[in-house]
């Protein structure tokens, strides 16, 4: 999308956009950074309605997967945040870390309630779950749907698929 198109869509002049953002990349980065905050709000609003750890994990997977499924272009930036100006890279990393802390906090609570195994490194578990969702978003679009992927990721994460 051209800056002219962005300005027209926002109902402002091109100069107004460039006064806020030095480049398309900065504008794009700001959208992604705000996107992480929006995703966290969505997850936080969904969690109180969850009655089990499974429902919480499914809600996290659902909101994260669907959020990025409909915003595929975010992956270009997500691959290399070091390409951002330093202040935006810090904001990006802060929002990304906050998302991980939100998820690990949910896992911490589940461990305390006995719904997840004691001794679980919840930060690594949160990153593992986010990695599964990222992999589906990047590589699974041709052969799955969000609803199917949500069920599979939730099951693999909580139950595994090894024969008992």
pLDDT digits (tens, 9 = 90+) for 32-54: 788 889 999 999 999 999 999 99
Domains, the chain: 24-159 (1.10.357.10)
Give one DSSP letter per residue of the chain, joined into a string.
Answer: --HHHHHHHHTS-HHHHHHH-SSHHHHHHHHHHHHHHHHHHHHHHHGGG--SHHHHHHHHHHHHHHHHHTTTTHHHHHT-GGGS-HHHHHHHHHHHHHHHHHHHHHHHHHHHTTSS-TT--HHHHHHHHHHHHHHHHHH-TTT--HHHHHHHHHHHHHH-----
pLDDT (0 to 100) of residue 158: 94
pTM score of the predicted model: 0.84
pLDDT (0 to 100) of residue 113: 95
Whether the pLDDT of residue 79 is over 80: the answer is no
pLDDT digits (tens, 9 = 90+) for 103-147: 999 999 999 999 999 999 999 999 999 999 989 988 888 899 999
């Amino acid at each position: 999308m051209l800056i002219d198109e962005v300005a027209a869509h926002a109902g402002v002049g091109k100069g107004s956009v460039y006064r806020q953002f030095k480049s398309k990349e900065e504008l794009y980065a700001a959208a992604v950074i705000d996107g992480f905050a929006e995703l966290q709000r969505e997850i936080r609003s969904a969690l109180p309605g969850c009655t089990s750890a499974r429902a919480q994990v499914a809600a996290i997977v659902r909101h994260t997967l669907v959020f990025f499924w409909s915003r595929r272009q975010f992956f270009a930036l997500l691959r290399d945040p070091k390409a951002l100006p330093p202040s935006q890279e810090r904001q990006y990393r802060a929002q990304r870390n906050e998302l991980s802390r939100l998820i690990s906090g949910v896992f911490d609570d589940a461990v305390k309630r006995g719904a997840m195994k004691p001794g679980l490194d919840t930060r690594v578990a949160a990153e593992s779950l986010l990695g599964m969702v990222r992999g589906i978003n990047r590589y699974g679009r041709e052969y799955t749907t969000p609803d199917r992927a949500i069920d599979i990721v939730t099951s693999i994460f909580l139950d595994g698929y090894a024969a008992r």
